[in-house]
Amino acid sequence: SQQGEEDPQALSIQEGENATMNCSYKTSINNLQWYRQNSGRGLVHLILIRSNEREKHSGRLRVTLDTSKKSSSLLITASRAADTASYFCATDRDSGAGSYQLTFGKGTKLSVIP
Amino acid sequence: SQTIHQWPATLVQPVGSPLSLECTVEGTSNPNLYWYRQAAGRGLQLLFYSVGIGQISSEVPQNLSASRPQDRQFILSSKKLLLSDSGFYLCAWSVLVDQPQHFGDGTRLSIL
């Protein structure tokens, strides 16, 4: 079953606006990661936030984590046309014998209009 | 620096034919390796992962198999492809299981 679910499924904004994407998950986690995927390409890691962290920044990206609500958000400030991509959250899960694997959501498709 | 290579980029195969997709990582030792499949407009489904040579864990029972003949080589195979095997296959590596994963550019597989 899906661990992380992104919301909204699609988002269209004007260049220069901020974009906010949300991720909800069901079970406890050790960390949550956000990835970006340009059309037809592999995923690129953006930010990893651990369960004991509440907020992390990387350039124009800001990620928050609320473990009490089992949710995370990704904020992209001052968006650019080049930010057009799909964004995925990924949560770790115990796959047995102390091994943790990532479970990806279905993603939010962001379109930034020039 | 570390790089990951995945080939071919696109592949069109008839139903019932065999499959071999290869992934290699450079610039690191003993990486964790992963094979994912992504259906159109969907998230990633983990197929196989490996924490060392010859160590393969399967996440989903299916028509596919994986092998790791060398430390930085991961191969996805099938003896007989099904229509349902179509999709975008991605290879990835990480230093540790709770660290970021780094992806190749994927193979678009179409089964006719």
- The confidence score (pLDDT) of residue A4 equals 72
Smallest CA-to-CA distance from B58 within B68, B73, B46 is with B46
CB atoms within 10 A of CB A60: 14
Task: Find chain B residues with C-beta within 8 A of A41's C-beta.
Answer: 105-106
The verdict on A31 touching B (C-beta cutoff 8 Å) is yes
What is the spatial distance between Cα B85 and Cα B71, in angstroms, rounded to a whole number?
26
CA distance B6 to chain A (A): 10
- The confidence score (pLDDT) of residue A1 equals 43
The verdict on B14 touching A (C-beta cutoff 8 Å) is no
Residue A19 · residue A79 · CB < 8 Å: yes
Each residue's pLDDT tens digit, A24-34: 999 888 899 99
What is A14-38 written as a DSSP string?
A: ETTS-EEEEEEESS--SEEEEEEE-
Of A42, A45, A100, the CB nearest to B90: A42
What is the spatial distance between Cα A3 and Cα A37, in angstroms, rounded to a whole number?
19
Return the domain boundaries, chain A: 4-113
One CATH from 1.10.357.10, 2.60.40.10, 2.30.29.30, 1.20.1050.10 for B3-111:
2.60.40.10
Residue A75 · residue A19 · CB < 8 Å: yes
Residue A62 · residue A75 · CB < 8 Å: yes
Contacting residues for B33 by C-beta, under 8 A, at least 6 apart: B23, B25, B49, B50, B68, B74, B91, B92, B93
Question: Taking chain B (112 residues) in consecutive chunks of 10 residues, what is each chunk's mean pLDDT?
Answer: 93 97 95 92 88 88 90 96 94 90 96 94
The verdict on B41 touching A (C-beta cutoff 8 Å) is yes
Q: Which residue has the tokens 């651990």?
A: A50
Kindly report the CATH class assigned to A4-113: mainly beta
Each residue's pLDDT tens digit, A2-11: 467 888 999 9
Return the domain boundaries, chain B: 3-111
Over residues A78-95, the mean pLDDT reads: 90
